[in-house]
Chains A and B, each alone.
Chain A
Amino acid sequence: MPARTVTIYYNDKIVRQFLLACVIWGAVGMLVGILVATQLNFWRVNFDLPWLTFGRLRPLHTNAVIFAFVGNMMFAGVYYSTQRLVKARLASDFLSQLHFWGWQLIIVAAAVTLPLGFTRGKEYAELIWPINIAVAGIWVVFGINFFWTLARRHERSIYVAIWFYIGTIITVAMLYIVNHLSIPTSLTHSYPIFAGVQDGLVQWWYGHNAVAFFLTTPILGIMYYFVPKAAERPVYSYRLSVIHFWSLVFVYIWAGPHHLLNTALPGWLQTLGMTFSLMLWAPSWGGMLNGLLTLRGAWHKLRTDPVLKFFAAAVTFYGMATFEGPLLSIKSVNALGHYTDWIIGHVHAGALGWNGFMAAGMIYWLLPRLWNKPLHSVSLANTHFWVGTVGILLYVAAMWTSGITQGLMLNSTTEGGTLLTYPNFLETLNTIRPMMLFRVVGGGLYFMGWLMLAYNVYRTVKGAQVVDGTAQVFVEDGLPAGESARIGLLAALFSPPVMFSVLGTLFACIWMFGGSTLQLLGLFGTVICVILAWMHFDSKRRNWGDWYDRLLVSALPFTILTFLAAAVGGMIQIIPTVLVNRAENVEDRRQIPYTPLELAGRDLYVREGCYNCHSQMIRTLVPDVLRYGDYSRLGESIYDHPYQWGSRRIGPDLARVGSKYPNSWHYRHMENPRAISAGSNMPNYPWLLTNPLDLSTLAKKLSVQRTLGVPYAPMTDTEVASAVGTQAAGIVADLAQPGTDIKVQPDREIIALIAYLQKLGKYERVQRAVAKP
């Protein structure tokens, strides 16, 4: 067989593009973060302008940091390392450019639409449907470009970093598409096809795994490439890579329900969410240990090399965040920490510490290699590190203190547990005000550090000659690399490891969902399966190892197995929940569908992003019930497209706010919250009092809701208008009563919003109760 040497020219232009985009969008995302954090303390910074309010900018911050900052960083790292790990140039320059410019266009579109109030009302999934389609499309472009490159590789086996990239690409595609399924009502608005508990479950299956598969697995892959490169040390443990990759991919997906602990979510899902979160601790730390012990051999270089400093600190923060996560998933800890700043602190320990520092380390390492010039200033990079660590310390300490203080105050009772100690929510908010200020200081310092990086990048890049990497490979003509060792799809599937996993999962499902005898069978089968698998593994250890080695040269079967591992958890949790007849599976209460005016008000509630500060979910916890009223039932939000249970209580819960206050209270409160609630940090909403209500698409919205299964009778435009008019007139008349004397036109947005708020918590009793699917 003739062998020849081929020189590969890597496409490093695309890496440079994504790297610079990451630096710029990172700065933008952090700046918006500082702005929204400031707004929490100084309500005037909302400027009474719709497009600058917290409710609209907070989604911009989260989306910018996740998809623009980490997204671009991930693409840069993936493209740089993949080409080198598989010894092949990226498959298509066109697709690479399409990927880059498409993604930047999406970011710009998001930065325009979110402040304008175009939103789907689900966290980290706010972007409207046309942008959703673009995201999915560009992601597919990324996938094709990646897998095509993989197919043209000159390296037989695939390295652990590539496993993580594969896991990322297919799982994010799955999560993104399912959670964005919606029916449009106009070019800028749509309703998600799921509602209430189903929407909540799908949302946190997505939301939790956005953290897992967008912020963690790709960065772990990047860690597996850049850490050994920078440390010039071998990776500590291959077998650990295997264990922690597969357990992470399989277990992570199940943990989504831990965002909905103690809510109306069915108990079996809550149990799965909590127990799988606890199981996640060891696999997550597997990644941390592999990174750390790889760095261990180069520990003495830490004091001089900023790249290694960033990596060591990032891995440490990853360890801290993944320890805190399982801790917060324990139901009783969650009862204290959920809805408070503790969660915000937890997230930022990960975002600032893990993602931000990994990004910085990677960028400092890449700069000299991509621009063929030493880093402009190593001491500035070190300063960035010092400033960044101080920023994280201030931020995280502030949020821990704030979260625990507020959690304790909200849950505190007196008189033998019969009365809340602090019945007024504002007392707890005002206590944590200083912490909200210190978080701005901490975030500001971190941002300053990032600016130092940006300046360093600018000075290094300026006037530099770009350089593209090359590599020499030996190619044997005729026989594609590794052909002989490859494993077929069937052989991959019908192999002991896969068969044992599939059988074990099947039996576990029978155990979970079966009737009383089936359950026993399932439990028995699961245990037998585990024992057999263990015995087989113990006696045929080498076979399993060989099988895995062969799997590693077979990208397609590997990808399919990864997809299966990642898909199982979601399917087992979501399919039963979606299949049940929701109108029957409602415990003892069923939501009364909104009137047209109330639905219009609800869309305003979503537009203004009220869910960013207000939950609509009274948990099955005594302090929640004492504070907000009877706990929320499954049936009380079954017609909510999208669900609005919320994830943070910067303000009080609103699930039963209906009829609690007079209409005039809401009017004055929206006009100026501080007039009613001394010390409130809620923005003013003066435009709601003057904007006319847009009814042009209301009939269409109602018809889409009917399609989605909300029991609306078909209505014509005039019927809708007349229903709206009648209800609005009633509210206007009530506001004009002597004693309050508020004069307002009936066609203003505020009327619809008041109608919606007064409807919250209204239900009808039903006889049939189905507890478990």
Chain B
Amino acid sequence: MPATASSAKAPRPDRDSVTTIRADGSRFFLHPADSRGRWISLRRTSAWVLIGIYLLLPWIPVNGHPAVFLDVAQRRFHLFGATLAFQDTWLLFFLITGLGFSLYFVTALLGRVWCGWACPQTVFLEHVYRRIERVIEGDAVARRRLDQAPWTSGKIFKRGAKQVAFVVASALVAHLFLSYFVSLPQLWTMMHEAPREHWSAFVFTGIFTAALYFNFAWFREQLCLIICPYGRLQSVLVDDHTLAIGYDTTRGEPRGKVGPPDAGACIDCNRCVQVCPTGIDIRQGLQIECIACAACVDACDEVMTKLERPKGLVRYDSQAGFTGGRTRWFRPRIVIYGILLAVGASVATWAVSGVRPANFGITRMLGAPYFIETTSIRNQYLVRVVNKRDVAARFLLTLESDGVPATMIGMEGTVEVGPLAEVVRPLIVETPRAGFPGMFPIRIKATDEAGTFSIVREIEFVGPDRAVAGGVAP
């Protein structure tokens, strides 16, 4: 990636311009300094737990399938033991809204905690790519110096090594991503065969690797600032009682040297600015760039500890807390979001528990809606039975028609469906012409052989107007 070697010194962040965009439109490439402290340690731990989960999900088998395996080729989605078919794709809705409501709920309470703690962009950038950069090129000062340095062999080596490491990391993440869609043994086989054998997967992985590399090696916080809508949506979900990272103006101002008795606690050491991965000065208040990573909190605490002053000049607190009030945790909004989340979760659970190991549908055959025979009226349907398990299954079909005599013709015994297969069968229903009551509903019930579950579908039996029907007595 182009080293943004330039004569310009680090611009001071202000409210009027974006630090990472220089006056001429070029990029100011940030080198945030290291910060140490409890938040950073916590974040590092949580990030590695998250990465571990991402890594393991395609490995852990649940009910014979990986915990998360989106088998696009077979049109089956395996999620923590449940297997969903194409017809169940609508459950995706619960995933999207569930994530949405969780975002609302968590953000209303804790601000942009998603951005700073859980977003893959932050997790991989801060804890994988920046770590690689740190190991190869040194700390922020060294990195900045390297930017300015002429292209000696040493610089070429360091830069080259870093970029190679970035490409390798990106390729690994891309393959990890692919393993959610292709089973692992298959992925292994594919990786050992020529690219042209799996052209689309190869191209996909290549493009994905390139995109990840571009993003993590160079684009970085620009994604959060300009592209990502969720950061902004989170910002508008914040209210006066939401926790956010902020600077205690009352305590800190007037900032300046240690000494004068009326001076505030802030010594204007600029540590909070140096460690910021998005290039803002937290003392200017909540800003669009802030991903609530808490690096400035640790940085400030470290300085305050050295000065033997109380910590928390920069801290997680609500607007109410910073202005001397108390943070109200139980606000109507939180309660309502909580209720919505609970309702959503129960509806989702109900919907998912309603997902059977089979799907059963009935439609009318194309052509005339009904056929009038000498003594009977006939309707023709098609049933589709989808078996979502990987063993063959048999289903017994039965007909109910609420007192109107109706019989299934030719559908004897059971429908057998192979593992993960779908079967379409004709279903013919007849009723006597005499006493035909006009259109009436029938119910077809499919029961699995073991009798563990059954699915009922209702459909109309159509016929002529009653007057026409009753013509011939049986």
Residues of A within 8 A of B (CB): 234, 285, 289, 292-293, 295-297, 299-300, 302-304, 309, 312-313, 315-317, 319-320, 382, 385-386, 389-390, 393-394, 397-398, 400-402, 404-405, 408-409, 412, 421, 424, 426-427, 430-432, 434-435, 438, 661-662, 664-665, 668-669, 672, 674-679, 738-742
Partner of A741 from the list B75, B90, B287, B464 (CB cut-off 8 Å) is B464
Asked whether any CB of chain A lies closer than 8 Å to the CB of B119, the reply is no
Partner of A431 from the list B90, B240, B381 (CB cut-off 8 Å) is B90
B232 contacts A662, CB within 8 Å?
no
For A438, the chain B residues whose CB sits under 8 A away are 93, 97
A401 contacts B369, CB within 8 Å?
no
Partner of B235 from the list A312, A421, A426 (CB cut-off 8 Å) is A312
B104 contacts A432, CB within 8 Å?
no
* 13 other A-B residue contacts (CB within 8 Å) besides A390-B340, A662-B368: A289-B226, A304-B319, A317-B229, A389-B104, A397-B93, A397-B100, A408-B86, A421-B422, A424-B382, A675-B460, A675-B462, A678-B460, A741-B468
Q: In the complex, which of the residues B104, B235, B287 has the most CB atoms of chain A within 10 Å of its own CB atom?
A: B235
Task: Tell me which of B141-149, B357-365, B394-402 binds A.
Answer: B357-365
For residue A264, give the distance in angstroms from its CB to the closest CB of chain B: 26
Q: In the complex, which of the residues A300, A390, A426 has the most CB atoms of chain B within 10 Å of its own CB atom?
A: A300
Quick one: given A304-B240, A319-B229, are A668 and B92 in contact (CB under 8 Å)? no
Kindly state the separation between the CA atoms of A676 and B363 in the bound complex, as whole angstroms. Answer: 9
Partner of B16 from the list A297, A393, A404 (CB cut-off 8 Å) is A297
Residue-wise interface mask of B (405-423) relative to A, using a CB-CB cutoff of 8 A (1 in contact, 0 not): 0000000000000000010
Asked whether any CB of chain A lies closer than 8 Å to the CB of B184, the reply is no
B96 contacts A400, CB within 8 Å?
yes
For residue B290, give the distance in angstroms from its CB to the closest CB of chain A: 9
For residue B289, give the distance in angstroms from its CB to the closest CB of chain A: 8
Partner of A390 from the list B75, B104, B382 (CB cut-off 8 Å) is B104
- 20 A–B contacts from the bound complex (CB under 8 Å): A293-B288, A296-B288, A302-B235, A302-B236, A313-B232, A319-B229, A390-B104, A393-B101, A408-B89, A424-B382, A427-B363, A435-B90, A438-B93, A668-B369, A668-B462, A675-B439, A676-B369, A678-B362, A678-B363, A740-B368
Shortest beta-carbon contacts, A-B, top 3:
A300-B285, A397-B96, A405-B89
Kindly state the separation between the CA atoms of A592 and B439 in the bound complex, as whole angstroms. Answer: 38
B18 contacts A316, CB within 8 Å?
no
For A299, the chain B residues whose CB sits under 8 A away are 235, 285-288
Residue-wise interface mask of B (355-384) relative to A, using a CB-CB cutoff of 8 A (1 in contact, 0 not): 000000111101111011000000001101
B240 contacts A303, CB within 8 Å?
yes
Quick one: given A296-B287, A665-B369, are A426 and B363 in contact (CB under 8 Å)? yes
For A432, the chain B residues whose CB sits under 8 A away are 90
Asked whether any CB of chain A lies closer than 8 Å to the CB of B242, the reply is yes
Kindly state the separation between the CA atoms of A668 and B460 in the bound complex, as whole angstroms. Answer: 13
Kindly state the separation between the CA atoms of A292 and B233 in the bound complex, as whole angstroms. Answer: 12
Asked whether any CB of chain A lies closer than 8 Å to the CB of B49, the reply is no
Partner of B363 from the list A234, A389, A393, A424 (CB cut-off 8 Å) is A424
B372 contacts A739, CB within 8 Å?
yes
B93 contacts A434, CB within 8 Å?
yes
What residue of chain B has the Cβ atom nearest to residue A320's Cβ?
B229
For B96, the chain A residues whose CB sits under 8 A away are 397, 400-401
Kindly state the separation between the CA atoms of A396 and B86 in the bound complex, as whole angstroms. Answer: 20
What residue of chain B has the Cβ atom nearest to residue A414's Cβ?
B422
A303 contacts B89, CB within 8 Å?
no
Asked whether any CB of chain A lies closer than 8 Å to the CB of B307, the reply is no
Q: Which of B334-354 contact A (CB under 8 A)?
A: 336, 340, 351
For B382, the chain A residues whose CB sits under 8 A away are 424
A292 contacts B368, CB within 8 Å?
no
Kindly state the separation between the CA atoms of A739 and B229 in the bound complex, as whole angstroms. Answer: 61
For residue A191, give the distance in angstroms from its CB to the closest CB of chain B: 34
For residue B237, give the distance in angstroms from its CB to the closest CB of chain A: 7
B233 contacts A313, CB within 8 Å?
yes
Kindly state the separation between the CA atoms of A662 and B367 in the bound complex, as whole angstroms. Answer: 7
Kindly state the separation between the CA atoms of A258 and B59 in the bound complex, as whole angstroms. Answer: 42
B87 contacts A431, CB within 8 Å?
yes
B89 contacts A401, CB within 8 Å?
yes
B229 contacts A316, CB within 8 Å?
yes
A292 contacts B100, CB within 8 Å?
no
Kindly state the separation between the CA atoms of A309 and B235 in the bound complex, as whole angstroms. Answer: 9
Partner of B464 from the list A386, A434, A740 (CB cut-off 8 Å) is A740
For residue B277, give the distance in angstroms from its CB to the closest CB of chain A: 17
Residues of B within 8 A of A (CB): 15-16, 18, 75, 86-87, 89-90, 92-93, 96-97, 100-101, 104, 226, 229, 232-233, 235-240, 242, 285-288, 319, 333, 336, 340, 351, 361-364, 366-369, 371-372, 381-382, 384, 422, 439, 459-460, 462, 464-465, 468
Kindly state the separation between the CA atoms of A155 and B439 in the bound complex, as whole angstroms. Answer: 74
For A668, the chain B residues whose CB sits under 8 A away are 369, 462
A382 contacts B369, CB within 8 Å?
no
For B286, the chain A residues whose CB sits under 8 A away are 299-300, 302-303
For residue B464, give the distance in angstroms from its CB to the closest CB of chain A: 5
B232 contacts A397, CB within 8 Å?
no
What residue of chain B has the Cβ atom nearest to residue A306's Cβ?
B236
Kindly state the separation between the CA atoms of A421 and B89 in the bound complex, as whole angstroms. Answer: 15
A739 contacts B238, CB within 8 Å?
no
For B93, the chain A residues whose CB sits under 8 A away are 397-398, 401-402, 434-435, 438
Kindly state the separation between the CA atoms of A389 and B232 in the bound complex, as whole angstroms. Answer: 13
For B364, the chain A residues whose CB sits under 8 A away are 676-678
Partner of B367 from the list A404, A661, A679, A741 (CB cut-off 8 Å) is A661
For B229, the chain A residues whose CB sits under 8 A away are 316-317, 319-320
What residue of chain B has the Cβ atom nearest to residue A298's Cβ?
B15
What residue of chain B has the Cβ atom nearest to residue A394's Cβ?
B97
Kindly state the separation between the CA atoms of A293 and B288 in the bound complex, as whole angstroms. Answer: 9
For B100, the chain A residues whose CB sits under 8 A away are 393, 397
For B462, the chain A residues whose CB sits under 8 A away are 668, 675-676
Kindly state the separation between the CA atoms of A404 and B381 in the bound complex, as whole angstroms. Answer: 28
For residue A227, give the distance in angstroms from its CB to the closest CB of chain B: 14
What residue of chain B has the Cβ atom nearest to residue A738's Cβ?
B372
Kindly state the separation between the CA atoms of A210 and B317 in the bound complex, as whole angstroms. Answer: 46
For A662, the chain B residues whose CB sits under 8 A away are 367-368
Kindly state the separation between the CA atoms of A412 and B422 in the bound complex, as whole angstroms. Answer: 14
What residue of chain A has the Cβ atom nearest to residue B318's Cβ?
A303
What residue of chain B has the Cβ atom nearest to residue A739's Cβ?
B372
Quick one: given A299-B235, A389-B237, A405-B90, are A293 and B18 in contact (CB under 8 Å)? yes
Kindly state the separation between the CA atoms of A741 and B361 in the bound complex, as whole angstroms. Answer: 30
For A430, the chain B residues whose CB sits under 8 A away are 361
Kindly state the separation between the CA atoms of A599 and B240 in the bound complex, as whole angstroms. Answer: 64
For B362, the chain A residues whose CB sits under 8 A away are 678
A412 contacts B75, CB within 8 Å?
yes
Q: In the complex, which of the residues B87, B340, B362, B439 has the most CB atoms of chain A within 10 Å of its own CB atom?
A: B87
Partner of B236 from the list A313, A664, A738, A739 (CB cut-off 8 Å) is A313
For residue A480, give the distance in angstroms from its CB to the closest CB of chain B: 35
What residue of chain A has the Cβ atom nearest to residue B86's Cβ?
A409
What residue of chain A has the Cβ atom nearest to residue B372's Cβ?
A739
What residue of chain A has the Cβ atom nearest to residue B289's Cβ?
A296
Quick one: given A412-B75, A430-B361, are A397 and B97 in contact (CB under 8 Å)? yes
For A309, the chain B residues whose CB sits under 8 A away are 236
What residue of chain B has the Cβ atom nearest to residue A431's Cβ?
B87
Quick one: given A292-B288, A741-B464, are A302 and B369 in contact (CB under 8 Å)? no
Kindly state the separation between the CA atoms of A431 and B104 in the bound complex, as whole angstroms. Answer: 28
Kindly state the separation between the CA atoms of A430 and B382 in the bound complex, as whole angstroms. Answer: 15
For B75, the chain A residues whose CB sits under 8 A away are 412, 421
Kindly state the separation between the CA atoms of A676 and B460 in the bound complex, as whole angstroms. Answer: 8
For A398, the chain B residues whose CB sits under 8 A away are 93
For A317, the chain B residues whose CB sits under 8 A away are 229
Q: In the complex, which of the residues B75, B86, B232, B351 has the most CB atoms of chain A within 10 Å of its own CB atom?
A: B232
Partner of B232 from the list A292, A390, A408, A665 (CB cut-off 8 Å) is A292
Kindly state the separation between the CA atoms of A408 and B70 in the bound complex, as whole angstroms. Answer: 14
A412 contacts B86, CB within 8 Å?
yes
For B319, the chain A residues whose CB sits under 8 A away are 303-304
